[in-house]
Structure 1
């Protein structure tokens, strides 16, 4: 099991949950006034499932996470059935904080349903039935814990989405800056051709005509000036031709822009130059790099990301991180989007675990 990097607040929440279970166990022991091995095992199993769940990297798409929460509820009911002690219901409050991650929008309804067996058992199988007011109070605590977790979950998702959008905007900004420079160069080249080029062409024609019309004393002068003008005109055409050709787009400019807006503790390494002559491919590669960096931070909790170029002919990029190394994974929208971007260039996207985290290979079939 890969343990995610948790904040101090998240560790505090885990400690608070475990402390709550320990307090309930201590009170239960004082009330029963005797040591019961099965109840001790049930409390320990509840704390184990709770801790395991909190330390899981990906809980929303995991059947194991759902099983852990279900086992918590079973353990709580076993303890309640063994001795219908009202504080045992506090265990459901602890589990309620995990419900939004496994039950989604139905978590509040499931919490209310889970209280029914406790109430029915206390009414028909115990001498001290659970009061309806107490049940409502416990349900209120559970809904509060569930709603707090739901709000925290949504806030985290919104933050991650905002960070991903921010990186995408900066990548687009860097590409637009380079494209704007290219458009300005093309405008200058067009203006040079339309003004100076036409004038030099006219002057060359005039001198060509003057060679036959004027006295032969100026023949040498005319030949020399005519040759200079022709050479200048040839140079001008070469400049215009070079300027009209779209220059290579350097992906390093995009990475520089992204690097400026990453958290200070994130280390991003990349080559000094990653130039592509095909602007369409460069644009798609830039968005793929932005998505790869975003995924490494959001899903892998990486602190170091390294980008390398294993091959230029054909062009390939490799993105390695030190985040969570996931042996079994499913392609999400980000990975599918990268594959769609490179598909028209005959490219592929491969994701593999490494010794520290994950390796993402962006491969194109074109030789640039």
Structure 2
């Protein structure tokens, strides 16, 4: 209702943000001034406290804008290290356990930003930093035992938050993988049903041609001979029967030709099955009312390209809308235009496995993939391939001509 996409990962993001805001309550009350006065901190301490708190929140918001993506992890590690340092400075200035709450916020987002082993290392390091901070407190300077005890209590809370976020992240990934498999299964089932329909039409056309057509031809020849041997008035009836046989043979030939001509795979249902149920993404599909492709290999390439566009948009684009336009071109090809309203691709980065695989699939059928750069807002790509196989392409052979009807 407010334009917020509420799924498991976004709920974790906003729950951690709420925790962060609660930690800032002392700054907007008299508690911070009273605390610093009791500790005899200089006036600059309150400013340091506020700057570190704001810095923590800004970095947190930037890091979680594209939640779930594992790209640019060195920058993310740097941002998390700054957040840990800022929280420790807040704890040292305020002489309190406030950094423990901030580190719980960090623990919540770690499984969604970094690999598991890196998240565990950062949790251990941030709690070691808290041990150092507690050891600087006057009451803990004589023995490190209380500092270790205090830090271990907060470590347990951070570990709990980390595991909860990890489980939620894995469940979200499994649900998305299951949704993709289900949509792919529905599209494949529609493609198989369409292939079965075409195979059945071809079988019927062959039966009509080989059996009915053969017998009608034989009947027409026999009636031709009979028309020369019969005497009136039987000869008139024989000629009428001969004309009827010829007309019936022409009708059978026409039906066989129509059955053979309608041998294209209707991809309308398969494409719509792919785009159904995509989480937190409005997919706008524009294509002809009945969209069909004759070559099964090209039909499979188109479905896989659409599927890869959907996957990349959900995982990386952080978009709300995706526009897909499929059309036949004047040069006898097929074009897929995809555009979203996500964060774009401002820099020329190395393409991932998905786009590389799309280029390879298109190259196998003589097609190409065009991605304009840079793209400051939204991501756009255009895929094209010829509808007719070309001799000489690797893995592609010329389609044999459909035999005519005798």
Q: 1:69 and 1:288, CA in 2 relative to 1: closer, same or farther beyond 3 A?
A: same
Secondary structure at the aligned position of 1:179 is classed as helix
Q: How far is the alpha carbon of 1:82 from its aligned partner?
A: 4.9
- For the pair 1:341 / 2:357, whether they are aligned, the reply is no
Aligned to 2:61: 51
C-alpha distance in 2 between matches for 1:56 and 1:287: 25
Bigger mean CA deviation after superposition, 259-268 or 52-61: 259-268
Secondary structure at the aligned position of 1:206 is classed as helix
For the Cα contact (< 8 Å) 1:99–1:146, is it kept in 2? yes
Matches within 5 A, 1:188-207: 188-207=204-223
Matches within 5 A, 1:184-333: 184-215=200-231, 218-219=234-235, 221-245=237-261, 247-258=263-274, 261=277, 266-271=282-287, 272-300=289-317, 301-309=319-327, 311-312=329-330, 313-328=332-347, 330-333=350-353
Q: Which runs of 5+ in 1 are unaligned?
A: none
How does the TM-score come out when normalised to structure 2?
0.77
How does the TM-score come out when normalised to structure 1?
0.84
Q: Deviations over 1:112-154 (max 9, x none)?
A: 233223324544x442224332111010011111112212221
Q: How far is the alpha carbon of 1:264 from its aligned partner?
A: 9.6
Q: How many residues align?
A: 364
- For the pair 1:115 / 2:115, whether they are aligned, the reply is no
Instruction: From 36, 48, 59, give the equivalent of 1:38.
Output: 48
C-alpha distance in 2 between matches for 1:294 and 1:54: 19
Q: Which runs of 5+ in 2 are unaligned?
A: 141-145, 390-406
Q: Deviations over 1:97-120 (max 9, x none)?
A: 222234312122431233223324
Q: Deviations over 1:270-304 (max 9, x none)?
A: 12243323232123212322332343344333334
Q: Deviations over 1:225-272 (max 9, x none)?
A: 334423432442343244245622233232344455456973523122
Alpha carbon RMSD of aligned pairs, Å?
A: 3.2
Secondary structure at the aligned position of 1:349 is classed as strand
For the Cα contact (< 8 Å) 1:345–1:364, is it kept in 2? yes
Bigger mean CA deviation after superposition, 52-61 or 172-181: 52-61
C-alpha distance in 1 between matches for 2:280 and 2:241: 63
Which portions of structure 1, spanning 4 or more consecutive aligned residues, are displaced by more than 6 angstroms?
none
C-alpha distance in 2 between matches for 1:260 and 1:75: 44
